[in-house]
Structure 1
C-alpha cells in the first residue's frame, strides 16, 4: 500500500456523523484545548487510540475479545482496583514495621539466632513460625472486627 501525505477517505453518512460526534467530544476535553480539532487531527487521534488499545499492548488478542474486555471495564472496577492497591500498600507498610520490630527484638537478644531456632518459613514445619503466623492472623481478624465496630458506631452517630 502506497501512502501520500494527503489521503482520500470515503465515509458513509453514518460514519460522517460518528466522526463529527467524536470531534465534538474531543473539543470539550481540556486535554485538547490548545489544539485545532479539524478532521485530520480527529482521524489521527482515532488511529493513535486504536493502536494503543488494540495493537501496541494487546497484539496477540483477537479484536473481538479485546473489544469485549474494554467494554466490560466500568468506573466502579477502576475505583475498586485503586482501593485494593491502597490496601495492599498499607499491608506492605504494616509488614515492614512488623519486620523492623522483630529485627529490633532479635538484636536485643544477643543469644538468639533465628537461623538456628526457626526452620524455613516455606517448609512450614516450624512450631514457632506456625504460632507466630496464627497469632498475626488472629490479630488481623480482630482488627477487622474492631474497624467494623468503629465504622458502625460512627454511622450511628451521624444519624
Structure 2
C-alpha cells in the first residue's frame, strides 16, 4: 500500500462515531488547549499514539496480544505501581542508611569485622537485625517529619 500526504479513507458509520468521540475527548484535554485541533492534527495524534503503544516499544509483540495487554491495565494497576515505587523508595532509603551505618562502624573498629558475622534479616531470627531495621525506619520517619517541618516553615515565611 502506498501512502501519500493526502489520502482518502473510507470508514463505517461506527468508526465515524468513534472518530467523533475521539475528537470530543481530545478537545476536552488541557494538553491540547493551546492548539487548533483540526482533523489532520487528530489523525497525527492517533497515528503517533498507535505508533508509541504498538510499534516503537513492542514491535515484536503481535497486535492482538499487545491490545489485550493494554486493555488489562486499570487505574488500580497504576495505584499498585505507585505503591510499589514508594516501597522501593523506602528500600533504597534503608540501603542508604544501612550503608552509612556500616561505613561508620567499619571506620571505627579495629578490623575484626568480617562479612561472615552477618546474619540474614529475612529469616527474622536475629533480634539485633530486627532492632537495627526498626531504628533505621525510625530515622527515616524522623527525616521525613523534619523535612516536612522545614517545608512548612518555609511556606509560612513566604
Q: TM-score, normalised by structure 1?
A: 0.73
Q: In 2, distance between residues paired with 1:95 and 1:139?
A: 15
Structure 2: runs of 5 or more not aligned = 136-158
Q: Please give the root-mean-square deviation of Cα atoms over the aligned residues, in Å.
A: 2.4
* Stretches of structure 1 lacking an aligned partner (at least 5 in a row): 119-125, 144-159
Partners in 1 of 2:92 and 2:105 — Cα distance?
Answer: 20
Aligned CA distance change for structure 1 residues 131 and 19 (closer, same or farther; 3 Å): closer
1:138 counterpart (107, 111, 130): 130
The aligned residue for residue 59 of structure 2 is: 59
**TM superposition shift of 1:60:** 0.4
Alpha-carbon shift at residue 36 of structure 1 (Å): 1.6
| Larger RCO, structures 1/2 (Cα 8 Å, 6+ apart) | 2
| Pair 1:64–1:94, CA change in 2 (3 A) | same
Find the counterpart in structure 2 of residue 112 from structure 1. Answer: 111
Equivalent runs, 1:41-80 vs 2, <5 Å: 41-80=41-80
TM-score by length of 2: 0.73
Pairwise CA distance, 1:17: 1.0
Q: What is the alpha-carbon distance in structure 2 between the residues aligned to residue 80 and residue 67 of structure 1?
A: 21
**Secondary structure, counterpart of 2:9 in structure 1:** coil
User: Across the two proteins, how many residue pairs are aligned to each other?
Assistant: 132
Q: Distance in 1 between matches of 2:19 and 2:31?
A: 18
In the TM superposition, residue 26 of structure 1 has moved relative to its aligned partner by 0.3
Report Cα offsets for 1:5-50 as digits up to 9, x if no partner. 2111111111111101100110000001022222221111111111
Tell me the equivalent position of 2:118: 129
Q: Distance in 2 between matches of 1:65 and 1:140?
A: 46
Q: Is the 8 A contact 1:23 1:42 kept in 2?
A: yes
The answer to whether the 8 A contact 1:19-1:42 is kept is no
